[in-house]
Chain A
Amino acid sequence: MTDPTSSSAPILEVRNLHMTFKRGLLKRGFKALRGVDLQVERGSVFGLLGPNGAGKTTLVKVLLGLNVGWKGTAKVFGLAPGSTEPRRRIGYLPEAHRLPPYLTGRQVLELFGMMCGREKSWLKERIPIWLEKVDMERDADRKLKEYSKGMQQRIGLAQALIHEPDLIFLDEPTDGVDPVGRAAIREVIAELKRRDVTVFLNSHLLMEVEAMCDRVVILDQGAILREGTLEELTPRTGAVRFELSTEAYDPERLLTGVGSNLVKDGRFFELAANEQEVGEAIDRLRAGGVSIRSITPRKLTLEEAFIGIVSKDSGQAPPDPGTTKSGSDAQKPGPGAQKEVQA
């Protein structure tokens, strides 16, 4: 067995994990996890994606000891999930949480810190620091029942981190938080990453996942569909994106016979082309008196990759990347399109 305390040992290991919920009088089962295998190394920021009901929260709850009756192997810090020792090193911000409304923000941090075994004197030094990080110093002594959703979310994040855990599960950490707060939370996650803390991030905002995560796991119907780095999950599409200095040009005329699938959008156009064809396109544009500002190989966005993977798994035809966008973004070729999808 690998030593969980060594820096190279996986912080979390799951093999052939099954979880079936039996509800109702007839105890009919619903399979939430179907043989999940996963290994997470120390210090990575993990994005956990999947459609609604994919089993993401179930997986996290098994690892936290909140779900019972699972089958398979699961180890957190080399120990069974649910045992006290690993949970002391875990922080958790659940989605739609409800912290004790009769406590103030400061008292919540003290309560949850002490529940994790931290001395009051130790917490007294750190609580102001965490309150500042989540921008809640001013309202720290108000009761939670007076807080807005965003404020509760910030205190929720602080309670997950107050005991300085080595592994953190964040379920929709920016849900209900204003843009300034979102930036602060992103900064907190970035700092955790610098401190070699392992973060499990479950977010509907794929832009956030793309910006913060090193690795991504995509779950659907209780099974892992894909796991890998962002590079691996968002490969090049084979298309190249051109930015020109003017809109007054006709690429279809200039680039007849070069590459394929040409899509124009103002000063931009996208073209499926190999290296040789790109060279020829450059020559033709220059010959036509069109000045080129930039040329970028086109990559799949995480959103496009996610939808493609999930659609393929469910037997549906993956939608064309262009049709997954909406509004003004739908007109733009390229990676600028960011929108919320249900993950």
Chain B
Amino acid sequence: MSSPSSIARRALMRDALAQVLDNKVFRILMILTFVMVAVTFLIGFREDEVTLLWGMKTYDYADLPGFSMIDIGAEQQRQTIDAVQDFFVSGLAGTFGLLFCIAATSFFVPRMLEKGAADPLFSKPVSRFALLLSRYVASVLFIAILASILVGGIHVGMLLNSGYSSDGFLWAAPRLVYQFALIAAVSALVGVWTRSNTAALLLTFVFYAVCTGVHQGWIVKEFTIQQPEFGMITELGNASADEQVVDELSGFTRYAAMALDTAHYVLPKTHDAPRIERLLRDQLDKVFDGGRSVAAATVNGRPLIVKRVGNSGLKVRHSGNEYVEFGEADGPWEINVRRDKLDVRVGEDGSLELLMDGTALELIDPESVVEQTYNPFEWYDARFGWSAPWKSNAWFSLLSSLAFVVATLGVAWLKLRRISF
């Protein structure tokens, strides 16, 4: 027999689900999600053509100019599918979808605390924290259901209708949930503090914008400090450590840099979520190819990194661009890297050999490669990793963001404890 508190928790979870399912915005987003999933079931992206309604109509990629924005018409079918998936999930769900979800769920907490609604709930033998958490969970559930259906549906649709979908794509669902969960905690805190639907909605949007600004600003600052030849503080020359550079800054700039640092470390790193997803996808790919190592070389003064994808694919990254090619498990692969032709072969010892326009490239240690770029965000992307220094470390980003969620909910609970209804 269950304990009274576990029965109560079960009841709160069911209530959270009922609240989500009854939400009008949720229903509209659900319809839009099904439309996006349906597209992947109705349109097939085959190797040489696009099929409509399971082959009733077929089109050449070249005849579909409207698809140029998402790389339709590229040579590789898989690259096309990745682009379509990215468009739906990162492009639509990751931006507009998140904003809609914030708008739809920001009133969950303040509405619970409204006069008349709070009395029957808070007089029950359930802790205030459990009630707060139930509304937070309801918010997260809101996007979890949508993200699971969207990502799972598109994955299955692409597999059935187009014959390919990367398993790593499934990480997009937890990524969306994680990104939203960071913001929803703030929504809960504002909801408790102000007990106002409007304030919760607006301040959550403001917070999201501030997080984005701080994070992007911090990346630009780090980029300019660590690569001074590209930035505004060239006069400082090459600093051995960025702390030293900050020390040498004067007056307002110094304090602004310190404030930006503090804000960056304290606030959740919402925009690291896609980077974490990319790492997880890469990791999944590695698992699938048995952990075989990647190769790297220097081409036109820029590093070129080669990774295995799945059992028969290769992913080449150069100058911020990615190229994917599938073939036989043991190659060889022929990849167009901009205007050059890269041949990749598997050597007798299992290592990869790289030939650019017929000339063998000198291999370098892939772990030591850091791409040079003029784009601060590409620069940060290239450094971001599980074992990177803590400033661009994925674990640090993940754990510090989760710590922020815990702290935010903790403050919300402390405030809630002091409310007289």
Q: Which residues of A contact B (CB under 8 A)?
A: 21, 61, 64-69, 84-85, 87-88, 90, 92-94, 96-100, 102-103, 107, 110-112, 114-120, 143, 156, 159-160
Question: Of the candidates B1, B2, B123, B418, which one forms a contact with A87 in the assembled complex, judged by CB atoms under 8 Å apart?
Answer: B123
List of 4 A-B pairs having minimum Cβ-Cβ separation, nearest first: A117-B4, A114-B11, A102-B22, A98-B116
Q: Give Cα A100 to B21, complex, Å.
A: 13
A92: which B residues are within 8 A, CB to CB? Answer: 119-120, 123
- Pairwise interchain contact B119-A94, C-beta atoms closer than 8 A: yes
Q: Give Cα A96 to B114, complex, Å.
A: 11
B271 to chain A minimum Cβ distance, whole angstroms, is 33
A100: which B residues are within 8 A, CB to CB? Answer: 15, 18-19, 117
> Is B419 interfacial (CB 8 A cutoff)?
yes
- Pairwise interchain contact B115-A96, C-beta atoms closer than 8 A: yes
Q: Give Cα A65 to B124, complex, Å.
A: 9
> Is B301 interfacial (CB 8 A cutoff)?
no
> Size class of B's contact patch?
35 or more
As a 0/1 sequence over residues 1 to 20 of chain B, the CB contacts with chain A under 8 angstroms (1 = contact) are 11111011011101100110
A69: which B residues are within 8 A, CB to CB? Answer: 418, 420
- Pairwise interchain contact A68-B419, C-beta atoms closer than 8 A: yes
Identify 17 new A-B residue pairs, CB closer than 8 A, beyond the known A100-B18, A115-B8. A65-B123, A66-B122, A84-B126, A90-B123, A94-B116, A98-B116, A102-B22, A107-B18, A110-B11, A111-B15, A114-B10, A114-B11, A115-B121, A116-B124, A116-B125, A117-B8, A156-B120
> Is B127 interfacial (CB 8 A cutoff)?
yes
B124: which A residues are within 8 A, CB to CB? Answer: 87, 112, 115-116
> Is B417 interfacial (CB 8 A cutoff)?
yes
As a 0/1 sequence over residues 85 to 127 of chain B, the CB contacts with chain A under 8 angstroms (1 = contact) are 0000000000000000000000000000011111111111111
Q: Which residue of A lies closest to B2 (CB)?
A: A119
B10: which A residues are within 8 A, CB to CB? Answer: 114
Q: Which residue of A lies closest to B15 (CB)?
A: A111
Q: Which residue of B lies closest to A96 (CB)?
A: B116
> Is B421 interfacial (CB 8 A cutoff)?
yes
Q: Give Cα A97 to B308, complex, Å.
A: 61
Q: Give Cα A120 to B114, complex, Å.
A: 28
Q: Which residue of B lies closest to A69 (CB)?
A: B420
Q: Give Cα A98 to B118, complex, Å.
A: 8
Which residues 3-55 in B have Cβ within 8 Å of A in the complex?
3-5, 7-8, 10-12, 14-15, 18-19, 21-23
- Pairwise interchain contact B19-A102, C-beta atoms closer than 8 A: yes
- Pairwise interchain contact A159-B120, C-beta atoms closer than 8 A: yes
A117: which B residues are within 8 A, CB to CB? Answer: 3-5, 7-8, 125
Q: Which of A61, A66, A119, A159 has the most CB of B within 10 A?
A: A66
Q: Give Cα A114 to B121, complex, Å.
A: 12
Q: Which residue of B lies closest to A83 (CB)?
A: B125
Given A66-B421, A114-B10, A115-B8; A99-B120 close (CB under 8 Å): yes
- Pairwise interchain contact A84-B125, C-beta atoms closer than 8 A: yes
Q: Give Cα A93 to B124, complex, Å.
A: 11
Q: Which of A114, A119, A143 has the most CB of B within 10 A?
A: A114
- Pairwise interchain contact A67-B420, C-beta atoms closer than 8 A: yes
- Pairwise interchain contact A98-B117, C-beta atoms closer than 8 A: yes
Q: Which residue of B lies closest to A61 (CB)?
A: B421
- Pairwise interchain contact A102-B125, C-beta atoms closer than 8 A: no
A155 to chain B minimum Cβ distance, whole angstroms, is 11
B119: which A residues are within 8 A, CB to CB? Answer: 61, 66, 92, 94, 97
Q: Give Cα A84 to B122, complex, Å.
A: 11
Q: Give Cα A94 to B4, complex, Å.
A: 23
Q: Which residue of B lies closest to A110 (CB)?
A: B11
- Pairwise interchain contact A61-B120, C-beta atoms closer than 8 A: no
A118: which B residues are within 8 A, CB to CB? Answer: 7
- Pairwise interchain contact B15-A66, C-beta atoms closer than 8 A: no
A68: which B residues are within 8 A, CB to CB? Answer: 417-420
A115: which B residues are within 8 A, CB to CB? Answer: 8, 11-12, 121, 124-126
B122: which A residues are within 8 A, CB to CB? Answer: 65-66
A156: which B residues are within 8 A, CB to CB? Answer: 120
Q: Give Cα A69 to B126, complex, Å.
A: 19
User: 18 interchain pairs (CB within 8 A)?
Assistant: A61-B421, A64-B123, A66-B123, A68-B417, A68-B420, A69-B420, A87-B123, A88-B4, A92-B123, A93-B120, A96-B116, A98-B114, A100-B19, A103-B15, A107-B18, A117-B5, A119-B1, A159-B120
Q: Give Cα A143 to B18, complex, Å.
A: 11
Q: Which residue of A lies closest to B117 (CB)?
A: A98
B93 to chain A minimum Cβ distance, whole angstroms, is 24
Q: Give Cα A265 to B88, complex, Å.
A: 84
Q: Which residue of A lies closest to B1 (CB)?
A: A119
B118: which A residues are within 8 A, CB to CB? Answer: 66
B420: which A residues are within 8 A, CB to CB? Answer: 21, 61, 66-69
Which residues 379-421 in B have Cβ within 8 Å of A in the complex?
417-421
B50 to chain A minimum Cβ distance, whole angstroms, is 42
Which residues 31-86 in B have Cβ within 8 Å of A in the complex?
none
Q: Which residue of B lies closest to A102 (CB)?
A: B22
Q: Give Cα A21 to B121, complex, Å.
A: 21
- Pairwise interchain contact A102-B18, C-beta atoms closer than 8 A: yes
B272 to chain A minimum Cβ distance, whole angstroms, is 35
Q: Give Cα A99 to B112, complex, Å.
A: 10
Q: Give Cα A114 to B4, complex, Å.
A: 8
Q: Which residue of B lies closest to A93 (CB)?
A: B120
Q: Give Cα A119 to B3, complex, Å.
A: 9
Q: Which of B8, B124, B126 has the most CB of A within 10 A?
A: B124
B417: which A residues are within 8 A, CB to CB? Answer: 68
- Pairwise interchain contact A114-B19, C-beta atoms closer than 8 A: no
B115: which A residues are within 8 A, CB to CB? Answer: 96
Q: Which of A68, A115, A156 has the most CB of B within 10 A?
A: A115
